[in-house]
Structure 1
Amino acid sequence: MSDIEITEYDGPAGGWGSAKALTEILSREKRGVSGAVLLGKQNKPDGFMCVSCAWAKPAEPRAFEYCENGAKATAWELTRNRVTRDFFAAHTVSELRDWPAYDLEEQGRLTEPMKYDPATDKYVPVSWNDAIREIGAELRTFEPDSVVFYASGRASLEASYMYALFARLYGTNNLPDSSNMCHESTSVALPQSIGVPVGTTVLDDFKTTELIMFFGQNVGTSSPRMLHDLQEARKRGVPIITFNPLRERGLERFTNPQSPTEMLTGASTEISTQYHQLKAGGDLAALTGMCKALLAADAKAEAEGAPEVLDREFIKTHTHGFKDFLRFCDKQDWSRIERRSGLKREAIEAAAAGYARSKATMGVYGMGLTQHRKGVETIQMLVNLLLLKGNIGKPGAGICPVRGHSNVQGQRTVGITEKPELVPLDQLAKQFGFKPPHKKGMTTVEVCENVLAGKVKAFIGLGGNFVRAVPDTGRMDPAWSGVPLTVQVSTKLNRSHLIHGEKAYILPCLGRIEIDEQATGPQVVSMEDSTSCFHGSRGFASPASPELRSEPWIVAELAKATIEPNPLVPWDDWVADYGLVREAFTATYPKVFKGFKDRLFQPGGLHKPLPARERKWETKTGLANFVAPKGVESDPDMPADGRAVLDLMTLRSNDQFNTTVYGYDDRFRGVKGTRHILFMNASDIERLGFANGELVDVSTHTDDGHVREVSNLRVVEYNVPEGCCAGYYPELNVLIPLWHHDEQAKTPAAKCIPVVVHPAKNVLLAATAA
């Protein structure tokens, strides 16, 4: 971080920049030739599924079916660096807490179980038998509802099913997951609107769509393989209308690294044909304006005897609530829509006109819609817009939420959820002969609230970096020391191992890319992608250490050490043969996994049945519902007179995936050597009396009695809407109050945080950092 450079990047997404980044990380992780060979198997029908994003896998894969960030994730997991007992002997936990997240993970793969020793403030080796026995003994002393079973989005369907069953046999539905922090708004909004909790589009829809609308999703960083589908659509002449506060390079131009012609000539494809830079949280107002414009155009067409703009037959046959929705749109004032969205009426009407011309439209979105106080309402407004022209349940059309982690959607499918109504508890009771708990479990936010209140007695993390990912970290970090037991199942060292409970264990597991040898031979696992397709995945690399154990093995051993034996739950048989686990969850979810056993490695994946794709609406009304929001204000926490208050959005760099930071460069935004950045509009910099490059402190604008501040962020003049600013996640999570979440889904509202910018207080520190 010593050589900080801020420049302007004028290249496309992809291209030589991606090729150079791939070469660099393979070299850094000492996986040059072997890494390149293994990457050839990534996302292939008989290979391994990417450990990072959940984007769909084509039936006819490209020669290199991976993106820059997917390759980084693979190299990161296959690194030859190792964290041994000698490393832990050389460093106290207190010392390691001060290490940057990058430095922790760059130490490499964990190699054996470790236990925290408070006398030395160090992790010390512990045998698997002792660790499992001690954890089980502790868990038996707690009330089940005081124990949290958290799951990140990477665990396989097999491990997730076993983990969820373990929690319910133990007696709790405390099964929060990473969806609570990103797409929970989707899981709440879509069932109310169309009767399913997931998107309705499939990969083939990109081949027949006539229009793609993009909202709050940075494809170039979060799911770069989708750029191939967008590029192919653009070459067919399909327009792409984008709404995003920042001009992201992946939504502007793309040079395909797999095209020799484009690489040699520097040619690129324009991705967005309309690009609307709205304010943070302005999507609800913009979508309302598009609906209002579309309704006006249809009324005009009807009055003039012209062809209808809306799909009136679809609305009449398949929807409910249209008249109330029409009244809502009629009441909305264009001046308010313009003010809140940050867009001119003409721009919104231009987008609506483009939508009106299309007979098959896809609505693609990411956390730019979900992580708001009104995230559920915003998603439902996008559904409303699609319903107006019948764009659910037909080829080339539908709603497409882009998930993050590679199996985060699949975990929900097999029971990882705090909501008991989403799980067939009666079937589980019949299948395994026990009484499942019916009390609602904790969400991620509720876990944090209960940690602060001293009510969580044990936290088990099946992967992930929970401590680093949650909001309000300044308040949360000290509270973890009051939790009696924390257990982390992990591949690499991270902050969640260092901010721990009174008793703490690290249980190192195999990665998905590694060969998982069990009693019946090498095992395969399965997962679900963003388009609700199931895929098999097999490991190819030798394990990083002979002491590593698979996630199913760890779950099974913990369960056996904690709960009474159940002859109907054959933990050992399941570990010996993961195919038996698949048979078990097929019996629990027979409609979902019909034909799964014989089609595990089917090219393109096995499609999960979704009634909404067939225009069957499993809602309370039996129809697709128009759901009108309360208004167009997406953030009730912003002050009416907020000239000194900016809307902060948290971002990922193109050198990271979720909490994992691969380096300190953000190529697309021209940042090198630091993540301590505050992107600001030039007018706001001048208006507030700052200078480009100046170091500032940023605090949350709240009156709840808690101070939330980050010091010495470097101001970078950037193309951000006036009144907004942006900085990196998870470094700025400290600024998100725990209560600042979606009103219905409790998803942390990380894309619209009211903050105030101050001159840096510590002049000496500021001078040193500069």
Structure 2
Amino acid sequence: MSKQSPDKPRISPFKGPAGGWGSVRSLAEILPRERVAPETFVELARQNKPDGFACVSCAWPKPADHHPAEFCEEGAKATAWELTTLRTTPDFFQKHTLTALRGWRDYDLEQHGRLTHPLRYDAATDKYVACDWAEAFDAIGAALRPLDPKSVVFYSSGRTSLEASYMYGLMARMYGNQNLPDSSNMCHESTSVGLKAAIGVPVGTTRQEDFAICDAILFFGQNVGSNAPRMLHDLRKARKRGVEIITFNPLRERGLERFTDPQNPIEMATLDETIISTQYHQVKAGGDIAVMTGIAKYLIAWDDAKAPGEAGVLDHDFISEHTNDFSAFAARVRATEWSDIERESGLDLAAIENAARVYARSKAVLAIYGMGLTQHVKGVENVRMVVNLLLMRGNIGKPGAGPMPVRGHSNVQGQRTVGITEKTELAPVDKLRELYGFDPPAEKGLDTVATCRGVIDGSVKAVVGLGGNFLRAVPETVAMENAWPRLELSVQIATKLNRNHLFAGRQTYLLPCLGRIEEDVQATGPQAVSVEDSTSCIHGSRGKVKPASPHLLSEPRIVAEIAKRIVPSNPRVDWDIWVADYARIRDAIEATYPEIFEDFNARLFTPGGFWKGNKAADRIWLTPSGKAEFFVPTGLSATGFADAEGRYRLITLRSNDQFNTTIYGYYDRFRGVKGTRDALFINVEDMAAANLCEGQIVALESDAGDGMRRRRDGLIVTPYDIPRGCLGAYYPEANILLPLEHHAAESHVPAAKSVPVRIVI
């Protein structure tokens, strides 16, 4: 199979709704392109069903009361992508050097098909060559054993099951480190830090059932139409019963505007649409703190003006009983000038007051948000401000109310639950010592940013990647690609070829694993795995499709084989028994986290999943003060840099034809971009001010002020409805502009939603 030629670029507005016939046509196009077998249609019927498999893309729940087709356009693409009949065999690598393959597009690399054999990099030919599993595992063990454990990193992707994640984290700690960066470091670590500090738990307090109870929804920085389309059914139902949805997002995203339910025959026949957002406010990138300060200012002023004996708009009883430091927060809000709020948010006073009035009259409010809040220098402050708003009216710990962070990967939240963390305080150190009789490391490990620093400066000697496309997903693309070949060892566990695999260390192994939808047969028979969704519900997942190759191993088996070669023998840890029967791994998880996973195996396939519980949802605040903490913001902008003449705020975006770094195709339907990923979205007034014309080819250069030259060439000027001073470009290609040190101050999440850049003609 040769590289596919891209379509001729075509950029024109899309006029349809999210869902509808556009979604149907998109699926009709991708299924034959992936050359899926007829059994794929059977699997789609099992997707996200109680006894089926959990979608390998987003983390939206598997509902107990499910639709006949419980998958969205993006989820179906993910299934077709995994079940493709296309194959990348060792013969492919005899035809192509890794250097030559670096000229391929991301799409073409993964579109070539599933990996079929374990591979070893041969530096003499610059090619991968087939090897057997024992050879690979023995060589990996021989390379890792002499290294200082602090110099080795164990990265994991958010698609990895709870079972494999638990084993992986245990292996790393028994080896001697907590260098366990994962997808959360790149997206929702700001949530984990911010919510933990504010309400004592690192996750949202709400569940899918709250959509049926709430009477208003505040929506911040999450593109539901591309990143969690099944949520549109919940939003549609909420709107049908009159719930107001107030959206704050820089770009007008179609899924937040209008939706036609593809599973509703009447809507499909009549082309009927549901308006999703009752108010849509295009806040500037990084302007959410200002917006939320404005809403709070309106509420406090209203409450201050109440007559004696009149009920206030704030929930004073809740604030008094359950919160700490409200007075300091209120003083800061009162002192903030409206002119500053308007300038930093990009919204006028009337727009903010309209949103505040809806919040003031609503009794149960959900606050839904995504990476549009977390991926800023002050991403943690964004999260804390969401909590501030909710606390003001007692909207945490009651039905239909609370924060709802939407995780972007199918088990990224679950990995953290079972020990994938670099932070000692989040790891069950005492329990691991008790169960397994070793002293877990107490030193904090490396997160994603620290790992990148270590790769660049040479202190990181080896990286083991359990899934993902780390090198493509992280900031500082050029420096990272230049440094990666200096690693002593690179091990990548994957289902398909991606760009990370084209940069070899001194020793490199590419190990193909089973996909989640494939049947996983071990010594005791077919196995099931588990995942955690965005709402803290645990679900079983069972694959039934014949594996893409007889040479594939499961993720737990691969982890076990590496572990047996790098950690001391321990009579309390029998890796082979765990691999033979994954129920034994779940027993170990239950023993480690008894409060969360009681009767784990018995509850594995509970329809709708089983909830792991949440103290803050019960108004039990696991904070030092024993109360929920108000936070005083340090400023109104979350960008971390000052505006300047010619400097723009770049927002990195995903197409609705991709999932994370995986590109399914070259048609971003909702933005009307076809045949290219080189679009530069810009406000028409900014175009005029910069003397740019539509279709002009320009470059972007980083304006971080650190002396480093970062440049993205070949961008097509594309007029778009985006706030002035802001630009949009596609991720991961725009990561080349993202400085490593431009990250959230407390959580270290790369600040990819407000990158300082300049346009170069």
Cα shift at 1:500: 2.4
1:674 — aligned with what?
A: 676
2:747 — aligned with what?
A: 745
Which of residues 626, 631, 636 is equivalent to 1:627?
631
Which of residues 101, 106, 109 is equivalent to 2:114?
109
Q: Distance in 2 between matches of 1:202 and 1:636?
A: 33
Name the SS of the counterpart of 1:598 in structure 2.
helix
2:734 — aligned with what?
A: 732
Cα shift at 1:523: 0.2
Cα shift at 1:33: 3.2
Name the SS of the counterpart of 1:412 in structure 2.
helix
Letter of the 2:566 partner, please give it.
T
The answer on 1:118 being equivalent to 2:123 is yes
RMSD of aligned residue pairs (Cα, Å): 0.8
Q: Distance in 1 between matches of 2:501 and 2:27?
A: 29
Name the SS of the counterpart of 2:586 in structure 1.
helix
The answer on 1:164 being equivalent to 2:169 is yes
1:569 — aligned with what?
A: 573
The answer on 1:13 being equivalent to 2:15 is no
Q: Distance in 2 between matches of 1:370 and 1:139?
A: 35
Q: Distance in 2 between matches of 1:752 and 1:224?
A: 24
Q: Deviations 1:370-413 (Å, cap 9, x if unpaired)?
A: 00000000110010000000000100001000001100000000
Which of residues 250, 256, 259 is equivalent to 1:251?
256
Name the SS of the counterpart of 1:40 in structure 2.
helix
Q: Distance in 2 between matches of 1:228 and 1:377?
A: 30
Which of residues 381, 396, 403 is equivalent to 1:399?
403
8 Å Cα contact 1:115/1:504 also seen in 2? yes
Cα shift at 1:259: 0.4
1:703 — aligned with what?
A: 705
Cα shift at 1:76: 0.1
The answer on 1:370 being equivalent to 2:374 is yes
Q: Distance in 2 between matches of 1:727 and 1:736?
A: 12
1:517 — aligned with what?
A: 521
Q: Distance in 2 between matches of 1:485 and 1:566?
A: 25
Cα shift at 1:701: 0.7
- Write out aligned runs for 1:508-657 (5 A): 508-639=512-643, 642-657=644-659
8 Å Cα contact 1:596/1:606 also seen in 2? no
Which of residues 249, 261, 268 is equivalent to 1:263?
268
The answer on 1:355 being equivalent to 2:353 is no
Q: Deviations 1:512-563 (Å, cap 9, x if unpaired)?
A: 0000000000000001000000000000110000000000000000000112
Name the SS of the counterpart of 2:420 in structure 1.
coil
2:76 — aligned with what?
A: 71
Q: Distance in 1 between matches of 2:172 and 2:640?
A: 37
Name the SS of the counterpart of 2:38 in structure 1.
helix
1:147 — aligned with what?
A: 152
Q: Distance in 1 between matches of 2:514 and 2:478?
A: 32
Q: Deviations 1:710-753 (Å, cap 9, x if unpaired)?
A: 11100000001011110100000010100000111110000001
Which of residues 290, 294, 297 is equivalent to 1:289?
294
1:714 — aligned with what?
A: 716
Cα shift at 1:306: 3.4
Gaps of 5+ in 1: 760-770
Letter of the 2:319 partner, please give it.
I
Q: Deviations 1:3-39 (Å, cap 9, x if unpaired)?
A: 1111111100000010111111111111263222110
Q: Distance in 1 between matches of 2:322 and 2:311?
A: 20
Q: Distance in 2 between matches of 1:450 and 1:565?
A: 29
8 Å Cα contact 1:535/1:601 also seen in 2? yes
Letter of the 2:721 partner, please give it.
N
Q: Distance in 2 between matches of 1:662 and 1:524?
A: 27
2:432 — aligned with what?
A: 428
Cα shift at 1:247: 0.4
The answer on 1:439 being equivalent to 2:447 is no
Q: Deviations 1:485-535 (Å, cap 9, x if unpaired)?
A: 000000000011012211110010000000000000000000100000000
Q: TM-score normalised to the size of structure 2?
A: 0.99
Cα shift at 1:633: 2.2
Q: Deviations 1:276-328 (Å, cap 9, x if unpaired)?
A: 00100110110111111111111122x36433211111001100011111111
Q: Percent identity?
A: 59
Letter of the 1:50 partner, please give it.
C
Q: Distance in 2 between matches of 1:689 and 1:644?
A: 12
Which of residues 687, 694, 697 is equivalent to 2:689?
687
Gaps of 5+ in 2: 1-5
Which of residues 97, 104, 109 is equivalent to 1:99?
104
Q: Distance in 2 between matches of 1:319 and 1:211?
A: 23
Q: Distance in 2 between matches of 1:500 and 1:182?
A: 26
Q: Deviations 1:427-464 (Å, cap 9, x if unpaired)?
A: 10110011100000001000001111101111000000
Q: Distance in 1 between matches of 2:719 and 2:122?
A: 47
1:274 — aligned with what?
A: 279
Which of residues 478, 487, 493 is equivalent to 1:489?
493
1:54 — aligned with what?
A: 59
Q: TM-score normalised to the size of structure 1?
A: 0.98
Q: Distance in 1 between matches of 2:551 and 2:334?
A: 65
Name the SS of the counterpart of 2:450 in structure 1.
helix
Q: Deviations 1:675-729 (Å, cap 9, x if unpaired)?
A: 0110000000010111011000110113312100011100000001011110100
Runs of 4 or more, structure 1, over 6 Å off, are: none
Letter of the 1:352 partner, please give it.
A
Q: Distance in 2 between matches of 1:540 and 1:638?
A: 54
Structure 1 stretch displaced more, 715-724 or 2-11? 2-11
The answer on 1:503 being equivalent to 2:507 is yes
Q: Distance in 2 between matches of 1:435 and 1:117?
A: 38
The answer on 1:385 being equivalent to 2:384 is no
1:23 — aligned with what?
A: 28
Q: Distance in 1 between matches of 2:310 and 2:729?
A: 48
Q: Distance in 2 between matches of 1:656 and 1:523?
A: 29
Cα shift at 1:637: 1.8
Which of residues 30, 33, 39 is equivalent to 1:34?
39
Q: Distance in 2 between matches of 1:633 and 1:491?
A: 41
Q: Distance in 2 between matches of 1:133 and 1:325?
A: 58
Name the SS of the counterpart of 1:582 in structure 2.
helix
Q: Deviations 1:581-623 (Å, cap 9, x if unpaired)?
A: 0000100000011132211100010001110010000001100
Q: Distance in 1 between matches of 2:678 and 2:544?
A: 38
Which of residues 231, 239, 242 is equivalent to 2:236?
231
Q: Distance in 1 between matches of 2:37 and 2:118?
A: 29
Q: Distance in 1 between matches of 2:753 and 2:321?
A: 37
Name the SS of the counterpart of 1:710 in structure 2.
strand
1:754 — aligned with what?
A: 756
The answer on 1:199 being equivalent to 2:204 is yes
Q: Distance in 2 between matches of 1:124 and 1:500?
A: 13
8 Å Cα contact 2:289/2:385 also seen in 1? yes
8 Å Cα contact 1:26/1:32 also seen in 2? no
Q: Distance in 1 between matches of 2:127 and 2:585?
A: 37
Structure 1 pair 294/88, CA: closer, same or farther in 2 (3 Å)?
same
Q: Distance in 2 between matches of 1:283 and 1:146?
A: 38
1:766 — aligned with what?
A: none
Which of residues 481, 484, 501 is equivalent to 1:477?
481
Name the SS of the counterpart of 2:490 in structure 1.
strand
1:179 — aligned with what?
A: 184
8 Å Cα contact 2:37/2:85 also seen in 1? no
Q: Distance in 2 between matches of 1:230 and 1:755?
A: 35
8 Å Cα contact 1:23/1:32 also seen in 2? no
